[in-house]
Amino acid sequence: MRKKILLSFAVFVAGLCSIVYELLVSTTATYFLGDGVRQFSIIIGIYLFSMGIGAFLSKFLTKMPLRFFVHIEFLLGLIGGISVPLLYFLFVNVNSITLQILCLVIIFIIGLLTGMEVPLLTFASNEVDFKNNLSNVLSLDYIGGLLATLLFPFILLPFVGLFYSSLIFGIFNIVLGLVLNHFFLKKSKKTLFLGLLSMTVLFAIVFSGGRLLKIWDDAIYKNPIVLNTQTPYQKIVVTKKQEDIRLYLNRVIQFSSADEYRYHEPLVHVPLTLHKNPKSVLILGGGENLASREVLKYPSVEKIDVVDIDSTMFHLAKNNSFFKEINQGAALNKRVNLITEDAFTFLYNYPNSYDVIIADLPDPVNEAIARLYSRQFFLLAKAKLKEDGLFVTQSGEIYFSNSVFSCINNTLKDVFEYKLPYHNYIPSFGDWGFVLASRNPIDITVKKRNLPQNLQFLTDEQYQMAFLFPKDIEIAQTQKNTLDSPVILNYFLEDWNKWKTDLQSGTK
């Protein structure tokens, strides 16, 4: 009976750990290489293919299935455990093509070893008269896989992190092998030594994890880190060098306090000055409340709704001393209403309409963000505008990422009757684009109200110059970005790969 219970538990753990490794590698690859659909598709495909090869090879190990299973647990625990730390190391030391290849090699090995587990346990279960062994083995393996898919998004990613999750489950795999060795292979000192050696390697990485992560973070972020946290939605890092505060989301810079006003002033004040009487403003994204800081400079605005999917951003905006100083307490202002919600879902469900909608969203580095630049998203935004309302969105770097800039322009043109692009140079990011859209003609020569007096950059002259583009910048022919076909993600990756620009410092 004890043997049956232990083998059942081994099947369950094997299914749990293998799916966790696949999720960890896929997510890490998405963070570093972008295009989550492509990464998950390729990695899952390679994983399943290698599992098939492993299952085939297992038939040559039927003489001592349990011993081979234990050895595989040691090897799988070691490779699965170091998979994420290894990818972290490779990210800062090899180019993207090499990283992609090595990532697939890692998942191939993990899949190969995983494919051997279930057949070997099925063979081993026959030795203890395991009734209906195949169906029992598969059912327990699938249950373990289900638990893994629940643990990963709700516990492992937000509270443990990718780095330590891989190490913990690697140790878990090795412990399973050691337990089976103790009860079923008592005389195998060599097997015991291999297991303890593998566990020692993983524990050594765990104990030195803080130092390793610091070295890695220093290589990525350059400046000293003052805040580093993982939420269910993203990794938030804040750095500080002298007076320069920088915010990174999933290792992509979002603002530098040294020049963020060069971004937020054109984003906000162009639409606000062109509207005859803005009273209600919706800001999509912008959880750090820098855009709302600028909107608050208009006494006529009675309500500002700021929608961000991550409540941690709102917590920082209200409580973090660095954020509060930069946003000038905007998140605590009575006119500002902070709403934790996905921007797309909010536009679909919220009944109210607005005078001005400002899309202060990240670049389309993955599918979840790419949909926020889709035709359907812009249609929802248009539906929430009052008849004389104005919509504005950031649209990326206009030179190095001209395809993205053009795609946003072309998609908006398909939704709004009138649209008008403008731009401004931001030292931390480059020549940045914006697009203004409306149901009505847009006349930039006739501002409905003057610019606020306490701006750091924008003047009437700069205002007019923003709508003038250099001769070598034009709106290229692109496909429209839709939910069904998120082409903007491909444009983004192709543009930045073409210029070999580091996404950590080259995008907003």
Q: What is the pLDDT of residues 256-305, one digit of tens each?
A: 999 999 999 999 999 999 999 999 999 999 999 999 999 999 999 999 99
AA letter at 261: Y
Q: What's residue 133's pLDDT? A: 57
The pTM of this model reads 0.82
Residue with tokens 């697939």: 104
Q: Is the pLDDT of residue 128 over 60?
A: no
Q: What's residue 504's pLDDT? A: 41
- 35, 141, 360, 495: the active-site residue: 360
In terms of average pLDDT, the best of 21-35, 39-53, 177-191 is: 39-53
- DSSP run (H or E) holding 423: strand 418-426
Residue set of the binding site: 234, 264, 288, 308, 342-343
- Tens digits of per-residue pLDDT, 191-236? 889 999 999 999 999 999 989 988 888 888 888 999 999 888 888 9
**What ranges do the domains of the chain cover?**
1-220, 259-505
Q: Give one word for 208, left, alpha or beta, with left for phi > 0 and alpha for psi -120 to 50.
A: alpha
Residue set of the binding site for spermidine: 264, 288
Whether 431 is a known active-site residue: answer no
Share above pLDDT 70 across residues of the chain, in percent, rounded to a whole number: 94
Is residue 240 a contact partner of residue 226, using CB atoms and an 8 Å limit?
yes
- Tens digits of per-residue pLDDT, 340-355? 999 999 999 998 899 9
Q: Is the pLDDT of residue 62 over 90?
A: no
Q: Is the pLDDT of residue 506 over 60?
A: no
Residue with tokens 């700021």: 306
3-state secondary structure (DSSP) of residue 502? coil
Residue 219's φ and ψ, nearest 5 degrees, are -70, -30
Q: What's residue 459's pLDDT? A: 94
Q: Is the pLDDT of residue 325 over 70?
A: yes
Residue with tokens 């140079």: 425
Q: What's residue 207's pLDDT? A: 95
CA atoms within 13 A on the CB side of 35: 19
Residue set of the binding site for S-methyl-5'-thioadenosine: 234, 308, 342-343
Topology (CATH level 3) of domain 1-220: Growth Hormone; Chain: A; (1.20.1250)
Q: Is the pLDDT of residue 47 over 70?
A: yes
Find the mean pLDDT for residues 124-142.
63
Q: What's residue 21's pLDDT? A: 96
Q: So what's the architecture of 259-505 in CATH?
A: 3-Layer(aba) Sandwich (3.40)
Residue 248 is encoded by which pair of tokens?
A: 């990174």
Give CA–CA dist 422/409, Å, rounded.
11
Q: What's residue 507's pLDDT? A: 43
DSSP 8-state secondary structure symbol assigned to residue 363: -
Q: Pick the more confident residue, 155 or 4.
A: 155
Q: What's residue 501's pLDDT? A: 44
CA distances for 186 relative to 23, 177, 179, 183, 200, angstroms? 34, 12, 10, 6, 21
Residue 85 is encoded by which pair of tokens?
A: 């730390």
